[in-house]
Amino acid sequence: MATTTIGIVNQKGGVGKTTTAINLAACLAERKKRVLLVDLDPQANATSGLGLAKQPGASLYPALVGKQPASAFVQSTAFPNLDIIPSELDLSGAEVEMARTDAYLHCVKEALAPIVAEGRYDFILLDCSPTLGMLTMNVLTASNSVILPIQCEYFALEGLAVMSRVIRQLRESGANPTIDIEGIVMTLYDGRTNLAQQVVQEVVTHYGPKVFETLIPRNIRLAEAPSFGKPVIFHDTNCTGSVAYRQLTREFLQRRHPEQADDRPALGAALRRIFDTPQPETPLNVIPHS
Ligand code: ATP
Ligand code: MG
């Protein structure tokens, strides 16, 4: 079966990229999908969040500069169907070396190409750092599509506008002519605040069906699971964070294969309810129309 490569991207920090990467990966694996999570952030949060030590020499760095095959860096995790290529601080040095190569935008794509060609995985998820640096731009050229986690706060809207412009430019420049936004995930949602609801409304107004109907709530179990080196479903399988990421995974798969949709209730009631809630007169008009 063909491998789909998906970047989890947002140049804003702390919006839930890594949390989404780890937990979407784990929930896909739980549904018997074969998943490779590639940690492309020198902070290596996805690495430690899946219970691996940050080890010098263990990152994709040598593969990015053509010195070793990426497959040499694949490690299994404690979780079935879920492998990882870890990261560590040295990966930041890769950016400098990559910049010196001719195909500097395609290092990640070329490094992962043999793994993609092999078809060993259904999904390769790429976790990014909060920058639009060389590694993130490489992720955008290597990905079939991207998931944009955004925090339900005002500044998030500005970040989203920047991301969608960069993605459009990559498509139009030919660097990645087929890249698309797989979906926008609203994270750290706190339904008690008007602002969160207003941000959701604003994003849905501008991005419509690109927004995943599943909202990821603020949930303490999600925040503490990485300190146990576990995805949340292995930390507290019934907490709201586990329920939310399982539902996001179901929605993600249903969108890709509507014909395989199961007969459970339709998604989206929560999002529709928020959308229908009357909001203050002044809109959060910060997403440029394009
Ligand atoms: P960075 O840009 O630094 O890589 P990020 O976008 O990957 O950050 P995360 O590391 O996933 O963001 O999340 C930032 C912090 O918020 C972490 O401490 C994480 O545990 C916590 N967090 C993320 N999502 C949730 C949530 N839904 N509920 C509670 N805490 C969360
Ligand atoms: Mg992160």
Q: Is the CB of 228 under 6 A from ligand 1?
A: no
What type of residue is 51? G
pLDDT at 113: 98
Q: Is the CB of 80 under 6 A from ligand 1?
A: no
What's the whole-model pTM score? 0.92
Please give the domain boundaries of the chain with CATH numbers for all domains. Answer: 4-276 (3.40.50.300)
Confidence bin at 238 (pLDDT 50/70/90):
very high
- Residue 135 phi/psi, 5° resolution? -65, -45
Ligand 1: residue of 10, 15, 19, 39 to mutate (most ligand atoms within 8 A of CB) is: 19
**Closest to 187 (Cα-Cα) out of 245, 268, 270:** 245
93 vs 268, residue with greater confidence: 93
Ligand 1: residue of 18, 224, 236 to mutate (most ligand atoms within 8 A of CB) is: 18
Euclidean distance between CA atoms 81 and 79, whole angstroms: 7
Rg (CA), the chain: 18
Nearest-atom number in ligand 1 for the CA of 41 is: 4
b/e 238-260 (16+ beta carbons within 10 angstroms → b):
ebbbbbbbbbbbbbbbbeeeeee
Q: What does the pLDDT look like over 118-176, one tens digit per residue?
A: 999 999 999 999 999 999 999 999 999 999 999 988 888 888 889 999 999 999 999 99
Give yes or no for a contact between 129 and 43, defined as CB atoms under 8 angstroms apart: yes
Q: Is the CB of 127 under 6 A from ligand 1?
A: no
201 vs 227, residue with greater confidence: 227
**DSSP label at 225?**
G
Give yes or no for a contact between 241 and 232, defined as CB atoms under 8 angstroms apart: yes
Which residue is it, tokens 């952030």?
41
> CA angle, corner 191, sides to 186 and 194, nearest 5?
95
The residue whose CA has the least distance to atom 11 of ligand 1 is: 16
